[in-house]
Amino acid sequence: MDKIKRIVVAGVSKKFITGHKNNLGVLARLLLLSNREPKSLVYVLKDVSFDVFSGEILGVVGDNGSGKSTLLRTIAGVYSPDEGRVVVEGKVIALINLVIGLKDRLSMKENIFLCCSLFGLSQNEIKEKLHNIVDFSGLQNFFNTKIYQFSEGMKQRLAFSIAIHCNPDILLLDEVFEVGDEDFKKKSGKSIVDIADRGGCVVIVSHETEIIKKYCNRVLQIDRGIITMNSRPGRIKL
Amino acid sequence: MINLKKPLKKIKNILGLGFVLAKTEFKLRNEGSYLGIFWYLLNPILTFGLLLLVFGDRLGNNIREYPLYLLMGVIMFNFFQSSTIESTRTIIKDNVGVIKSINFPRESLILSIVIKNFFSHFFEMVLFAILLAYFHISLVGILYYFFILFFFCLFIFGVSLTLSSSTVYLVDIENIWSFAVRLLWLGTPIFYAIAGQTKLLYLNLFNPMYYFLTAARDIVIYAKEPDFFIVSGMIFFTALSFVFGVFIFNILKTRFAERM
């Protein structure tokens, strides 16, 4: 199978304006028109370029605040780049800090419908996948239970199950991989390898060396918004 | 040839997700509530009852079918007020986490508020229909009301798009709008008529609610065609609100996630 570029990140820079005067009301803005705080810009990503091909599992590593999550959000389309461009080929599903819109006061079934809808699935598609999602999560006995009664681990399993069943061609995982018990870790590991094997790609942001070495074909190391290394996992010092 | 497939698919996605979110919010709002739809009716019933008690004799004498005139004003304004005030909170307070994590059509959040309040408005309309029957007035007018409601929903959606996106940049819009909507409530002929009050009439020419209320009352209560001027005003303000709302929301939405 010919490899296609699933993700193209070309010369991407992302900056944020910092300072307390960033969030002002109408009157405060009017009063400050003549006395503006100088803009303080922080570049979180600087001229970042790389490609991810179908079949690849890419790891992204770096210290806290190095720009890993910003990179993932930019690929997911949550942030728009200030410079450069991001091109994605296929459906992107991002699981960033496990926030997928789960509502505590809804049951597991209702949450599956809600979150899959946020990921762009139609009601019929969700009905078709409902049982697979529940079976994968291993939470069959809690189908009609409101999830405020779930432990954090159960919520993580549910979120992961939903994400991988939403037909991702590109799966973005931010610090959420290998959650739950040993069985679930094995299942989730296999599922991301399956996504790559069927022509998709996966990007994993993690601080855990073992995960990166176990699953990734390639690793990007980011330091203060700049890619400092792009190579095989074995060559990167974590 | 222009390819309409992509924009149509986008609209379908926004509508689909909007309905799902509205259904969810509706469920959450009714969770554990034994009184159910009664809660939706409580606010308009109390407002209506109180206003009828206070102004019924003084202002109501010169207005035909005053209780119906008043209730129509109360429930339509309630729909507008609830939707727009809620929209000032939806982006910056209620959905921050999901906006920062998932790329979904943000318009759906605003649409869901309008749909959810439309459900409530529907129950209020049932109450209104009962009152119509009590006054022996034909219910046929309510069918025509759906025509006005279509424009009214688009108008509210447009205003809500503008408010919700502006709040991300101007944090006190929520407070300002709550205050502005109170002023608008007093300035709109809800419990009084503006006939003979020239200044108030001129002011209301700039008030979109005036056009919607007048058209609805003419059709539903008085069984007459609204003036061309009123219908034109209604369509004009709907188009203005919708186009401006979509335009401003599209410009501002690209920075929602990073501004919060």
- Check pLDDT > 80 for residue A212: yes
Q: What percent of chain A has pLDDT over 90?
A: 60
Considering all CA atoms of chain A, what is the largest pairwise distance in Å, rounded to the nearest integer? Answer: 62
- Check pLDDT > 70 for residue A99: no
How high is the pLDDT of residue B231?
A: 96
Kindly determine whether residue B28 and residue A79, on different chains, have CB atoms separated by under 8 Å: no
- Check pLDDT > 80 for residue B31: no
Kindly determine whether residue B257 and residue A78, on different chains, have CB atoms separated by under 8 Å: yes
How high is the pLDDT of residue A232?
A: 79
Identify which of A26, A94, A105 has the shortest CB distance to residue B172: A26
- Check pLDDT > 60 for residue A238: no
Can you tell me whether residue B110 is helix, strand or coil? helix
Amino acid at A114: L
Least Cα distance to A44 among A21, A85, A72 occurs for A72
Phi and psi based region of residue B234 (left: phi greater than 0; alpha: psi -120 to 50; beta: remaining)? alpha
B21 touches chain A (CB under 8 A): yes
Task: Provide the shortest C-alpha distance from residue B110 to chain A (in Å).
Answer: 14
Rg (CA), chain B: 19
Listing DSSP states for A79-108 in one string gives S--SEEEEEE-S-EEEEETT-S---TTSBH
Span B141-198, pLDDT tens digits: 899 999 999 999 999 999 999 999 999 988 889 999 999 999 999 999 999 998 888 8
Confidence band (pLDDT; 50, 70, 90) for A19? low
Is residue A202 within 8 A of residue A192, CB to CB? The reply is yes
A125 touches chain B (CB under 8 A): no
Is residue A79 within 8 A of residue A225, CB to CB? The reply is no
- When mean pLDDT is compared across A14-18, A228-232, B33-37, the lowest value belongs to B33-37
Name A202's Cβ contacts closer than 8 Å, sequence gap at least 6.
A56, A57, A58, A170, A171, A172, A173, A192, A195, A196, A215
Kindly determine whether residue A101 and residue B255, on different chains, have CB atoms separated by under 8 Å: no
Least Cα distance to B79 among B24, B33, B125 occurs for B125
How high is the pLDDT of residue A60?
A: 93
Query: Would you tell me which residues 105-164 of chain B have a C-beta closer than 8 angstroms to some C-beta of chain A?
Result: none
Angle at A160 between CA A99 and CA A232, to 5 degrees: 100
- Check pLDDT > 70 for residue B221: yes
Considering all CA atoms of chain B, what is the largest pairwise distance in Å, rounded to the nearest integer? Answer: 63
Span B97-135, pLDDT tens digits: 889 989 999 999 999 999 999 998 999 999 999 999 999
Which stretches of chain A are assigned E, i.e. beta strand? 5-18, 40-53, 57-61, 83-88, 92-96, 170-174, 201-205, 218-223, 226-231
Compute the average pLDDT of residues B81-102.
92
In order of A96, A111, B86, the CA distances from A104 in angstroms are 18, 9, 21
Q: How far is the C-alpha of A160 from the C-alpha of A47, rounded, in Å? A: 31
Identify which of A25, A106, A120 has the shortest CB distance to residue B170: A25
Compute the average pLDDT of residues B13-17.
93
Query: Would you tell me which residues 6-65 of chain A have a C-beta closer than 8 angstroms to some C-beta of chain B?
Result: 16, 22-27, 29
How high is the pLDDT of residue A236?
A: 63
How high is the pLDDT of residue A42?
A: 87
Kindly determine whether residue A106 and residue B24, on different chains, have CB atoms separated by under 8 Å: yes
| Pick among A13, A27, A79, A96 to test the B interface (most B CBs inside 10 A) | A79
B17 touches chain A (CB under 8 A): yes
Span A148-203, pLDDT tens digits: 999 988 998 999 999 999 989 999 998 776 667 788 888 888 999 999 999 999 99
In the sheet where A5-18 sits, what is the strand order? A40-53, A5-18, A83-88
Identify which of A76, A103, A106 has the shortest CB distance to residue B103: A76
Q: Which residue has the tokens 């606010």?
A: B43
Q: Which residue of A has its CA nearest to B30?
A: A105
Q: Which two tokens stand for residue B8?
A: 């149509």
B32 touches chain A (CB under 8 A): no
- Check pLDDT > 80 for residue A2: no
Q: What is the reported pTM?
A: 0.90
Q: How far is the C-alpha of A237 from the C-alpha of B5, rounded, in Å? A: 48
Task: Output DSSP code: residue A235.
Answer: G
Round the average pLDDT of chain B to a whole number and report it: 91
Residue A64 vs residue B244, higher pLDDT: B244
Least Cα distance to A74 among A7, A141, A153 occurs for A7
Query: Would you tell me which residues 164-223 of chain B have a C-beta closer than 8 angstroms to some C-beta of chain A?
Result: 170-173, 176
Q: How far is the C-alpha of B103 from the C-alpha of B95, rounded, in Å? A: 13
Confidence band (pLDDT; 50, 70, 90) for A50? very high
Q: How far is the C-alpha of A158 from the C-alpha of A166, rounded, in Å? A: 13
A211 touches chain B (CB under 8 A): no
Confidence band (pLDDT; 50, 70, 90) for B229? very high
Span A75-88, pLDDT tens digits: 999 999 999 999 99
- When mean pLDDT is compared across A35-44, A61-70, A144-153, B2-11, the lowest value belongs to A35-44
Task: Provide the shortest C-alpha distance from residue A108 to chain B (in Å).
Answer: 13
- Check pLDDT > 90 for residue B29: no
